[in-house]
Amino acid sequence: MIKKLSTLPFKSTKEQEAQLQAVIDGHKHDKSLVMAVMQKAQAIYGYLPIEVQNAIAEGMNVPLEKVYGIATFYAQFSLTPQGDHHISVCLGTACYVRGSGDIYNKLQEVLGIGGDECTADRKFSLTACRCIGACGLAPVLTVNEEVYGRLTVDDVPGIVAKYS
């Protein structure tokens, strides 16, 4: 059984549902296009909640396990909503030994969410990554692709405030 990963309620508009159905209808003749449908569905919704995965599985006539397997294997897919400002903290070796774990914990405290979660207002989401290739600036985090380096725990509230 696949559990719902997000504590936020799934919301879908009629326009999103129509877009998803059009994508499925345009690809349902070829089961090898499941991943392409999933990519387009994520572009429509911003993530792939279980309800969307079910719609894809049913519409493409493939097992839900196949859709879920693809969604959990490839890093490009998210099963949880993403905030307007996505924060990713590097927990790779160089960053971790310089305190990124403490920075990650402080972000969870300041935002009031856990890792791989999104704030209720969908303003912020938080994830950890293994390396962003900026080891010389360790510890680092990104906010919407903007890199912040040589951080301390004391820097966290100011970074969050900048996007509030």
Domain spans in the chain, listed from the N-terminal domain onward: 14-73, 85-163
Contacts of 95 (CB under 8 A, 6+ apart): 89, 131, 135, 138, 139, 140
Question: What pLDDT sits at residue 6?
Answer: 54
Q: What is the pTM of this model?
A: 0.72
What would the CATH number be for the domain defined by 85-163? 3.40.30.10
pLDDT tens digits in sequence order for the chain, 164 residues long = 344 445 567 888 999 999 999 999 999 999 999 999 999 999 999 899 999 999 999 999 999 999 999 999 987 899 988 899 999 999 999 999 999 999 999 999 999 999 989 999 999 999 999 899 999 999 999 999 899 999 999 999 999 999 99
Identify which of 87, 90, 68, 93 has the alpha carbon closest to the alpha carbon of residue 79: 68
| 68, two tokens | 């879920």
